[in-house]
C-alpha cells in the first residue's frame, strides 16, 4: 500500500490529523521505565486517536547499542494500519543515501522518512525510488534558526530559498510520494506552500512546546478537503504527565488535540 493511502485511511478511520512524536528522553521517563515500555504504553493509549506516529532517530541513537532494537520493537507495537514516519533527516551523496534508504525502509520498515535536500536531487533520489514510501523534504522547518538559510532571497527571482525547495520537490515528485515539512511556527509560509502545492501532504511540527498556532496550522496546512496535513505533537503529549499515569495523560492530551483540530476543520467546511 502506498504511504499516502495508508495515511488517509488511518486519518479517516480515527477522524484525526494528529501525529504523535515518539521522542523519549530516558531522563524524563518515570522511574524504572524503559524506553520501549514507555513507547508501548503511549502507543497502546493513543493508537485509535492518531493518523501517524513519528520517531525521531536522535532519541534512539543516543541510547547506544540498544538503539535499533528499541526502534524495531516500537515499530512492531504500532498497529499495521497506522502510518509511521522515520524522522531521520538524512541527506548525503548518492551511494550513502541509498544505504540510508535501505536501513529506514527495508531493514526497519518505516512507511516514510524525512530527508534533507541540501545536497540536491541525487541525495534524495534513492528514497524517492521507493514508490510506496513517503519522503518528506525539509522545506520550512519549525526552529528559530531555520531563517538563517531558508529565508534567504534568491538573486534571480527574489523568492526565499524554502520556496525553491518546495518547487524542486514538486519537480521530483514523479511517483507522487513526496511531502514537505513546514513548521506551524511560520503560518504565512505554511499558507504560501499549501497554495503552491495543493495536493502534497504536509508534515507540520511546531505545535505545543514550540508555540505554533494550531488554528492557523489547520486552516493553512490542510488541503481543499481538510486532509493531507499531519500535525505533529511530541512533548505536549508524551510528557503530559511525568508520573505513573503518563499513558492515560497522553491519551487525554491526544484526544484533546484531535478534537481541537477537528473543530477548526469543521469551520472550514
Catalytic machinery residues: 89
C-alpha 158/C-alpha 215 separation (Å) is 29
Note whether 7 and 230 are within 8 A (CB). yes
Place of cell 499495521: 80
Note whether 207 and 214 are within 8 A (CB). yes
Note whether 159 and 196 are within 8 A (CB). no
CA atoms within 13 A on the CB side of 126: 21
Angle formed at CA 234 by CA 232 and CA 237, multiple of 5 degrees: 105
Place of cell 495536493: 199
Q: Is the dihedral of CA 255, 9, 101, 146 positive or negative?
A: negative
Note whether 160 and 153 are within 8 A (CB). yes
C-alpha 127/C-alpha 101 separation (Å) is 5
Note whether 51 and 14 are within 8 A (CB). yes
Amino acid at each position: 500500500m502506498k504511504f499516502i493511502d495508508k495515511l488517509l485511511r488511518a486519518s479517516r478511520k480515527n477522524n484525526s490529523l494528529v501525529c504523535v512524536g515518539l521522542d523519549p528522553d530516558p531522563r524524563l521517563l518515570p522511574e524504572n521505565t524503559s524506553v520501549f515500555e514507555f513507547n508501548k504504553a503511549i502507543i497502546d493509549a493513543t493508537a485509535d486517536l492518531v493518523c501517524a506516529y513519528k520517531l525521531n532517530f536522535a532519541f534512539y541513537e543516543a541510547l547506544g547499542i540498544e538503539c535499533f532494537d528499541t526502534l524495531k520493537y516500537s515499530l512492531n507495537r504500532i498497529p499495521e494500519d497506522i502510518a509511521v514516519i522515520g524522522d531521520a533527516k538524512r541527506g548525503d551523496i548518492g551511494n550513502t543515501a541509498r544505504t540510508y534508504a535501505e536501513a529506514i525502509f527495508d531493514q526497519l520498515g518505516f512507511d516514510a522518512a524525512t530527508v534533507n535536500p541540501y545536497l540536491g536531487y541525487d541525495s534524495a533520489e534513492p528514497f524517492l525510488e521507493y514508490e510506496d514510501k513517503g519522503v518528506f523534504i525539509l522545506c520550512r522547518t519549525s526552529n528559530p534558526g531555520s531563517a538563517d538559510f531558508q529565508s534567504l532571497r534568491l538573486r534571480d527571482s527574489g523568492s526565499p530559498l524554502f520556496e525553491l525547495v518546495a518547487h524542486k520537490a514538486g519537480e521530483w515528485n514523479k511517483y507522487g510520494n513526496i511531502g514537505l515539512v513546514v513548521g506551524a511556527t511560520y503560518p504565512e509560509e505554511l499558507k504560501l506552500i499549501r497554495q503552491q502545492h495543493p495536493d502534497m501532504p504536509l508534515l507540520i511540527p511546531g505545535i505545543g512546546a514550540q508555540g505554533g498556532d494550531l488554528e492557523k496550522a489547520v486552516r493553512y496546512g490542510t488541503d481543499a478537503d481538510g486532509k493531507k496535513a499531519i500535525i505533529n505533537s511530541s512533548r505536549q503529549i508524551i510528557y503530559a504527565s511525568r508520573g505513573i499515569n503518563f499513558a492515560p495523560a497522553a491519551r487525554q492530551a491526544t484526544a484533546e488535540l484531535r478534537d481541537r483540530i477537528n473543530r477548526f476543520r469543521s469551520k472550514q467546511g
